[in-house]
């Protein structure tokens, strides 16, 4: 009897100690079970976003046939809006160089200067008097005295009239309308340098006639006036319209 009671006590003690363990272990299982529904709800939360994607794709697919059929697509609507804007008035383009009348004027003066220089060269080399020019040294004007003086020769060997002829041959080329239309800076610089040099030489010849020879040649004075006019046209054009464009700028404009 005593042994059977002891066995029943031991069984009750064992069963009582096992119950708390079962309870403690039941809590984590409950927590895990509580977390599983949350994890199961996560895909459900993503489901609306996934369902929104087909709707957006459907709207884009609806827009594509409308655009393909000539409907008001986004790009076409922008082009229509741009075409509906009123055209703004264009500002008048500034001329690229001197006006044509000024170009032809300079070209005509260059030809006239070349002709006078050629006639003076012929008269000096052939030793013939210039037409309409007084001789004899009785007045202020004496072309023969000027053309036969020591100042009429450069370094005593080269006639000034021949130098003027060569100068105006170059001036005809750079004062032609075609040279003005090139609008290259190199041509503009050559034109300006030539006229500055020519005007400097004219000032020397005037000094030689008035101070050293004390006689004036009408034909030489005519060449001096033509050179001065061309000098004024060149400087005025460079100040108003510039000397032209460099080679890279001209290529970019042509492209």
Residue 26 confidence class, pLDDT cut points 50, 70, 90: very low
Using the predicted structure, report yes or no on whether residue 47 has a pLDDT greater than 90: no
Give the pTM: 0.60
How would DSSP label each residue in 150-186?
Answer: GGGEETTTEEHHHHHHHHHHHHHHHTSHHHHHH-BHH
Domain boundaries, the chain: 108-254
When pLDDT is cut at 50, 70 and 90, the band that residue 4 belongs to is low
Backbone angles phi, psi at 245, to 5 degrees: -105, 155
pLDDT digits (tens, 9 = 90+) for 178-237: 999 988 899 999 999 999 999 999 999 999 999 998 889 999 999 999 999 999 999 999
CATH code for the structural domain at 108-254: 1.20.1440.130
């Amino acid at each position: 009897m005593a042994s059977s009671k002891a066995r029943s006590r031991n069984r009750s003690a064992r069963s009582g100690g096992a119950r708390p363990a079962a309870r403690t272990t039941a809590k984590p299982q409950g927590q895990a079970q509580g977390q599983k529904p949350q994890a199961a709800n996560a895909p459900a939360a993503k489901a609306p976003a996934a369902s929104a994607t087909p709707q957006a794709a459907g709207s884009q697919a609806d827009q594509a046939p409308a655009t393909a059929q000539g409907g008001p697509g986004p790009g076409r609507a922008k082009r229509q809006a741009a075409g509906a804007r009123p055209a703004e008035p264009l500002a008048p383009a500034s001329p690229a160089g001197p006006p044509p009348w000024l170009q032809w004027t300079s070209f005509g003066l260059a030809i006239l200067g070349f002709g006078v220089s050629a006639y003076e060269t012929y008269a000096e080399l052939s030793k013939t008097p210039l037409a309409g020019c007084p001789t004899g040294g009785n007045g202020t004007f004496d072309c023969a005295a000027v053309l036969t003086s020591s100042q009429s020769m450069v370094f005593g060997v080269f006639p000034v009239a021949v130098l003027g002829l060569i100068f105006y041959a170059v001036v005809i080329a750079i004062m032609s309308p075609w040279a003005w239309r090139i609008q290259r800076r190199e041509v503009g610089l050559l034109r300006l340098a030539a006229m500055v040099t020519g005007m400097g030489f004219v000032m020397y010849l005037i000094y030689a006639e008035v101070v050293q020879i004390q006689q004036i040649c009408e034909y030489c004075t005519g060449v001096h006036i033509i050179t001065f006019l061309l000098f004024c046209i060149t400087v005025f054009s460079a100040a108003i319209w510039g000397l032209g464009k460099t080679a890279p700028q001209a290529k970019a404009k042509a492209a």
